[in-house]
């Protein structure tokens, strides 16, 4: 993800990423924009770029990046 901005003090209602040190990726949409972010241990970072449905190529590229990162984590041996 390009231009990721860290956010301090992100509340952690779940500790999924602590179980096996995986990064948790998040994608949300209000129908107009698609912001992407990730949670790694206690650090939440949000991509500065908000993707829109009008630029499908960039939106799908961002989805593809997230899915690739998840796949890499699944292929990594458990610690």
In a domain, 75, yes or no: no
pLDDT of residue 68 exceeding 50, the answer is: yes
- Residue 61 belongs to domain spanning: 4-70
pLDDT in tens, 14-24: 454 455 577 88
**Long-range pairs of 6-11 with CB within 8 A, sequence gap ≥ 24:** 6/43, 6/44, 6/45, 7/44, 7/45, 7/46, 10/39, 10/42, 10/43, 10/44
pLDDT at 79: 58
Q: How many domains does the chain have?
A: 1
- Rounded CA-CA distance 50/59 in Å is 9
CA 22 to chain centre: 12
Q: 47 lies in a domain?
A: yes
**18 located within any domain:** yes
Backbone dihedral angles phi then psi of residue 29, each to the nearest 5 degrees: -150, 145
Mean pLDDT of 55-61: 94
């Amino acid at each position: 993800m390009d231009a990721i901005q860290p956010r301090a003090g992100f509340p952690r209602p779940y500790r999924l990423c602590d179980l096996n040190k995986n990064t948790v990726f998040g994608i949300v949409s209000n129908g107009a924009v698609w912001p992407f972010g990730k949670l790694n241990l206690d650090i939440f970072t949000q991509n500065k770029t908000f993707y829109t449905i009008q630029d499908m190529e960039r939106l799908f590229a961002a989805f593809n990046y997230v899915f690739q990162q998840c796949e890499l984590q699944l292929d990594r041996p458990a610690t």
